[in-house]
Structure 1
C-alpha cells in the first residue's frame, strides 16, 4: 500500500489527484467543526450516548452530527435517496429500464437522486430540530420560533448539498469514491481524540494494569480487521465460456472467463435497515418523555427506553434485542443482495453476448443456477454481517471489560474503513497500471 502511494506521488497527474482529494476532505472537516449556535454540547453528548441510531447517523455524516455542525446531516439524505431510487427500480419498470440505458441513463438516474436528496434533507432537518427540542435535557431552546427553526433547516439542507458536491468532485477529479471517502475521513479524523478519551475514562490509576484491556481490545481489532478483509475480498468465481462467432469474415474462438460473485454484495446497507427498525421504538418513546406521570403510555415509553436497548440492565430484554437485531440484518442482507444482483438480468446478458456457463443451459436454467449459488454465498455474508455488528462488540466487551459505548470502532465503522481503504487502493493501483501502459505505448 505504501509503495503504491509513493509511486503515485512520483507521477504528476496522480499526485494532483491525491492532493485534490486531500484538500477537499480537509475542507469538509473544517465545515464539520462549524457548529450551529444555540445547541447544548452536554445535552447532545447525553443523547448520543443513549441512542445507537444517532451514532450510526453521525458515522455517515463524517462526525458532523455529534457537534451539530452545518454539515450535521452529512451524506445521510443522499444515501437514503440512492437507496430509495434503487428500491424503486424493483417497483417501477420504467425506472429499471432507464437505469440500464448506459451512461445517459446513469446520468438521469443520478440527477433524480440529487433532486430527491434536497426534500429528504429538509425533512430530516425538521425532524432533528423537533427531536433536539424534546430531548431530555433539551439540546435546542424549547421556545425557538419558526424563523429560527427555518434558518437551521435551510442551513442543514445547504450543508448536505455541499457535502454531496464535495463527494461528486472527489469521484470525478480525485481518487476513489467521494461519498465513501468523506465518511472514511470522518471516522479516521475522530479516532485519536475518541480513543484518547476512552483511555482516560477507563483509567483507574493502576499503572500498566489499566492498559491491559486496551491491549486485548487491540488484539481483537487486528483479528477482526483481518477477518473483514478476507470476507470483503472473498468471491465465488463462476466459469463462463463465450461461443465461437464470425466477426468481419474471421472466425473468433470462444474465450474462457469467470463471473465474480461477492460474498458481501449488500455492504453495510442491511445494517442501516436493521438498526433503523430496532431504534424506531426508542425514538418514538422519546416523544412521550414529557407525558404526565402515571399514564399508561408514559409507563410504556419509560419501559421501552430502559429495556429495549442493546446493552441494558435486563438480561432477557438485552438477549431478545440483539437476537432480533441479528435476524433483521440476516433478512435484509438477502433482500438487498437480490435488489442489486438480479439473476434473470445476468442470465439475459450472458445469452445476449453468446456466453454461457459450462454444463448449464442458457436462459432460465442459468438464472436458477445463479440464484442457487447466490443463496448459498449470501448465507455466509449474512452471518458475517451479524457477527461483526452484533456479536463482535459483545465479545470485545466481555474480554476487555470495556463497555461497548466506549469502543470507537464498531462493526459498521470497521466495515466502512476497511472497505473504503481496499477499494481506494485498488483504484490507485489501477491508475498506476494504466499510466505504465500509456508510458510504454508512447
Structure 2
C-alpha cells in the first residue's frame, strides 16, 4: 500500500518564474510557482488498456480448440505463465507513455507559459522549454511505468508462488488496490479542504463579531 501511495502522490516540481509587468499604475507578475509533474500521470488507464488487449489472443484461441498452435497460445496467455507477465508488463509500460503523451502536452504548456510571461530559470522560452519539459516528463514517467507494471503483475506472481485465490491476491496489487488508494487519498484531501474552509469561516465570523462590538 505504501508503494501505491508513493506512486500516486509522487510529483516532480519544475520551478517557473513570471516576469513583472506594469499595467497602468499596477505591477503584475513577478511571483514564483511550479509545474507539477506526477510520476503516474496515466493512473489506472494503462492497466485497463493492456488487460483488454491481453484477452484477445485467448478469445481467438477458443474458436480453434483442435489446433495445437492456438492451444499453445492459450497456455502462453494464461495468468500463471511468465510469458503473460512479460507481455502484460511491456504493454503497461507502452500505454503509460502513450497516455501520458496525450494527457500532458509540453508544447502547449511552454506556449501558454510564454504568452503569460513565464519561464523556467536557465531555460530559454519556446522550443527549448518544450524540450526541457518533455525530457523531464520522460524521465519521471520511466520509474512510474515500471512501478505500475509491477503492481499490476504482482497478484499473478503471488498466486503462483503462494497458491492463493486471485481475490485475495488482488488486495496486494492490481487495479483494485490502485483505485482504493486513489479514492482514499482523494477523500482525505476533500476532508482536509473542508476542515480548512471551516477554520477560515470561523476566523472570519469572529472578526465580524469583534468589528460589530467596536462599532
Q: TM-score, normalised by structure 2?
A: 0.86
Q: Any gaps of 5 or more consecutive residues in structure 2? A: 206-215
What is the alpha-carbon distance in structure 2 between the residues aligned to residue 401 and residue 300 of structure 1? 28
Match of 1:407 in 2: 169
Answering whether residue 150 of structure 2 is matched by residue 357 of structure 1, we say no
Answering whether residue 111 of structure 2 is matched by residue 348 of structure 1, we say yes
| Partner-residue secondary structure (3-state), 2:14 | strand
Change (3 A) 1:434 1:341: same
Q: 1:261 aligns with which of 37, 45, 49?
A: 37
Answering whether residue 187 of structure 2 is matched by residue 424 of structure 1, we say yes
For residues 70-81 of structure 1, the aligned pairs below 5 Å read none
| Partner-residue secondary structure (3-state), 1:331 | helix
Match of 1:310 in 2: 79
| Partner-residue secondary structure (3-state), 2:201 | helix
Determine which structure has greater relative contact order: mean sequence separation of CA pairs < 8 Å that are 6+ residues apart, divided by chain length.
Answer: 2
What is the alpha-carbon distance in structure 2 between the residues aligned to residue 423 and residue 227 of structure 1? 17
Shift in Å at residue 435 of structure 1?
3.1
Change (3 A) 1:434 1:406: closer
Which structure features the higher share of strand residues?
A: 2
Q: Map Cα deviations across residues 360-386 of structure 1 (whole Å, 9 max, x no partner).
A: 111111100000000000001101111
Match of 2:97 in 1: 334
| Partner-residue secondary structure (3-state), 2:13 | strand
Q: Any gaps of 5 or more consecutive residues in structure 1? A: 1-224, 312-317
Match of 1:276 in 2: 52
Answering whether residue 203 of structure 2 is matched by residue 440 of structure 1, we say yes
For residues 81-160 of structure 1, the aligned pairs below 5 Å read none
What is the alpha-carbon distance in structure 1 between the residues aligned to residue 28 and residue 170 of structure 2? 56
Shift in Å at residue 307 of structure 1?
3.8
What is the alpha-carbon distance in structure 2 between the residues aligned to residue 388 and residue 228 of structure 1? 8
Shift in Å at residue 407 of structure 1?
2.5
Q: TM-score, normalised by structure 1?
A: 0.43
Identify the range of structure 1 (332-341 vs 345-354) with the bigger mean alpha-carbon deviation.
345-354
What is the alpha-carbon distance in structure 2 between the residues aligned to residue 399 and residue 251 of structure 1? 65
Kindly tell me the number of residue pairs found equivalent between the two proteins.
204
For residues 206-221 of structure 1, the aligned pairs below 5 Å read none
Change (3 A) 1:406 1:226: closer
| Partner-residue secondary structure (3-state), 1:407 | helix
Match of 2:4 in 1: 228
What is the alpha-carbon distance in structure 2 between the residues aligned to residue 433 and residue 405 of structure 1? 38
What is the alpha-carbon distance in structure 1 between the residues aligned to residue 25 and residue 169 of structure 2? 66
What is the alpha-carbon distance in structure 1 between the residues aligned to residue 161 and residue 71 of structure 2? 31
What is the alpha-carbon distance in structure 1 between the residues aligned to residue 128 and residue 178 of structure 2? 35
RMSD: 2.1
